[in-house]
Amino acid sequence: MLDENFDGSGLLVFDGTNVLYSGVDVGDFTEVGGMLSITFDTDATQTVVDGVLGSITYSNNNFSDTIVSDWIYNDGLVSTMTQQSVI
């Protein structure tokens, strides 16, 4: 059983279903089954998106598990990019 948690550091705060960056609501999020999904709104400039993605933290209190993290980026227009990390 995973005891996992996504959170924000620095200027990033997850509040209810809102994504706040530097105090500004820049999108919404869900966290279900170990998957964090963020949908950015029009207040999210490229700089804000970069800041949010760089400020996401993850913890898992079950240290015997290997964590595989898939990052999927979709700009909603043209491209989708996938990256995988093993922790």
For the segment 40-68, what is each residue's pLDDT rounded down to a tens digit? Answer: 998 889 899 999 999 998 887 766 666 67
Mean pLDDT value across the chain: 82
The pLDDT of residue 86 is 63
Strands 68-74 and 80-86: antiparallel
Which is nearest to 25 in space by CA: 9, 42, 10? 42
The pLDDT of residue 33 is 77
Total domains in the fold of the chain: 1
DSSP 1: -
CB 26 within 8 A of CB 80: no
The pLDDT of residue 17 is 95
> What's the domain range around 50?
4-86
pTM of the shown model: 0.79
Whether 30 shows a pLDDT value over 70: the answer reads yes
Whether 87 shows a pLDDT value over 90: the answer reads no
